[in-house]
Structure 1
Amino acid sequence: MATETKIIVRAKAKDAKFVGSSLGGAYIIITNKINNRILAEGKTSGSTGNTDLIMKVPVKRGNSISDERTAKFLATIDIDEPTFAQIKVISPFNNKQAQSIVSTELWLIPGKDILGDGIVLEIPGYIIDILKPRTHNYISLSSIKNKPFEIEANIVMMCGCTINKGGIWDSENIEVKAIVKRNDIHIRDVTMSLTETNLFKGNINITSAGQYELIVYAYDAKSGNTGVDKVNYVIYE
């Protein structure tokens, strides 16, 4: 006879909070490793969690870093014998350019629930969205001649948590640069700075027409978090 077994799965951004409803959730797939049958699947829902509890209180063995509102996926699985399972997290589910897949494997025992914090999988990185220039934008050279060409990107943690100067996620600790290429040749790196919450800006003088590619990256040496976004645009005579 199959026995109902419950398991909580959470996705937590590296050096940040949990992935929940405000970001569209993380997608969870629990699979039987022997026959690849999906035992449960769905998205995490709930809040990103208690900032003080997650980021400020020293973690001690046995103490929880989640509360009742913290985002989770609760799976109820019917199994009749110990089952070796893979748990896969796809996150952030609604931001494809920043999406990562993280997984782990464990034995599920009939009737032996895994609750509390549950299984927590860590999602490294940043979500970066280049706002200027737009993808495949056609821009006349005359309209930008003798004036700075603006580069803008919105950057958040993988849980959607905000980046500010001097905040918990301090922009001063994050290196943000734009790599500019023209006709597949690297022409310049541009340092970008925070101008308001999550928004980084920089500029460059463009003097030649061509097929341009812009790569914006973020890097935190202390946490090891990285993120990238790319756009292509055209400067024409």
Structure 2
Amino acid sequence: MKNRMLATLQALACLMLLTLQPQAWAAEEGVLTPLKVLVRSDDAKFIGSKVGGLQVQVRAVATGEVLAHGPLEGGTGDTAALMQQPQLRGQSATTGEPASFNAELALERPTRVEIVVTGPLGVAQSAQSTALSLWLLPGEDRAQRPVILHMSGLIVDMVDYQLAAQALTVTAQVTMLCGCPLDRDGLWPVSDFSVALQVLQAGQPVAQQALVFTGVENEFSGTLTLPGAGDFELQVTAIQRSTGNAGVYQHPLRVPAAAQQPQEQ
């Protein structure tokens, strides 16, 4: 009788161990929680590979532990859905598989995370950071319901500049942060943008000139007269009047005492 009871107890103990082991593993490893992150340019489309992509880091706010990190890459998304069709509550404009960062986080408990995004990485002077904190619940799918961050600004870059005597001619390129184009009659008309060239010396402006659209997509150009020789800073600023989106490009410029020959960047 005793032997039979002992065998029964041993069997029950083994069964309990088998039942508890998967639960202990799940508690130790956490529950896989899908996460998708997208970043949208203010008044434009999603930011992705066209402008060098973005870098994403997801960290636990309480501990500082980095839970996931990596590049955000892909296309800019569906133009019609993003820019032309009305957006109703509950509907998503993420059709067309726009650029995203995807991860699976192993969460043991509800976790407040901070998502930090840096870029665009293709144009150093236009790179910036934005961040968002939120709660993630173990097993709750945030890939089907992605997290969308927003970035404001413009990409301003140099096409070329030429220096002949004391005349400085500059051609700059301006786009939305997603790389979406500026044109005369497009979704982002050049009439909504103001682009200017300033030349500074010792931090003070010494010459300035508005840059005008050249007729080539994204390009603005103008010429000004420098006050003389010396070390200067060339600065191009752009602003979208309707939104306040802005961008800046800066470049050192040395003008020799006799600047007679054309000089290219």
Give the superposition deviation at 1:215: 1.0
- 1:8 and 2:27 are equivalent in the alignment: no
Root-mean-square deviation over aligned CA pairs: 1.6
Runs of 4+ in 1 over 4 A off after TM superposition: none
User: How far does residue 221 in structure 1 lie from its aligned partner after superposition?
Assistant: 2.3
1:144 corresponds, among 150, 158, 165, to 165
Would the aligned equivalents of 2:50 and 2:75 in 1 still touch at CA under 8 Å? yes
Q: Deviations over 1:149-173 (max 9, x none)?
A: 2111111110011111121111110
1:117 & 1:227 partners in 2: Cα distance?
31
1:10–1:117 contact (8 Å) kept in structure 2: no
Higher radius of gyration, 1 or 2: 2
CA distance in structure 2 between the aligned counterparts of 1:55 and 1:68, rounded to whole angstroms = 14
Paired with 1:155 and 1:61, the residues of 2 have a C-alpha distance of 33
Q: Which residue of 2 aligns with 1:177?
A: 196
2:117–2:130 CA contact under 8 A, matched in 1: yes
Structure 2 residue 139 is matched with structure 1 residue 128? no
Query: Matched residues in 2 for 1:69 and 1:83: separation?
Result: 27
1:91-136 residue CA offsets vs partner (Å, 9 max, x unmatched): 21232211111111111100001124511111110111123338xx
Between the aligned partners of 1:117 and 1:194, the Cα distance in structure 2 is 40
Residue of structure 2 equivalent to 1:103 = 131
Aligned-residue sequence identity (percent) comes to: 28
Distance 1:209 1:40 in 2: 51
Q: Once the 2 structures are TM-superposed, how far is the Cα of residue 21 of structure 1 from its aligned partner?
A: 1.9
Question: What CA deviation, in whole Å up to 9, does each residue of 1:59-105 have, x standing for no partner?
Answer: 11111101242111111101111111001111212322111111111
Q: What corresponds to 2:213 in structure 1? A: 194
Give runs of aligned pairs for residues 34-183 of structure 1, distance below 5 A.
34-116=62-144, 118-133=146-161, 143-145=164-166, 148-183=167-202
The verdict on how the C-alpha distance between 1:110 and 1:198 changes in structure 2, with shifts beyond 3 A counting, is same
Residue 213 of structure 1 aligns to a residue whose secondary structure is strand
For 1:157, the aligned partner's letter is: M
**2:13 matched residue in structure 1:** none
Q: Give the conservation status (yes or no) of the 8 Å contact 2:208–2:224.
A: no
State the SS of the aligned residue for 1:218: strand
Structure 1: unaligned runs, 5 residues or longer? none
The partner residue of 1:217 within 226, 231, 237 is 237
Q: 1:186 to 1:229 in 2, by over 3 A?
A: same
Instruction: Please say if 1:22 is aligned against 2:43.
Output: no
The AA in structure 2 aligned to 1:45 is: E
Hey, what's the Cα distance between the residues in 2 that align with 1:108 and 1:187? 53
Return the structure number with greater relative CO, CA threshold 8 A, min gap 6: 1
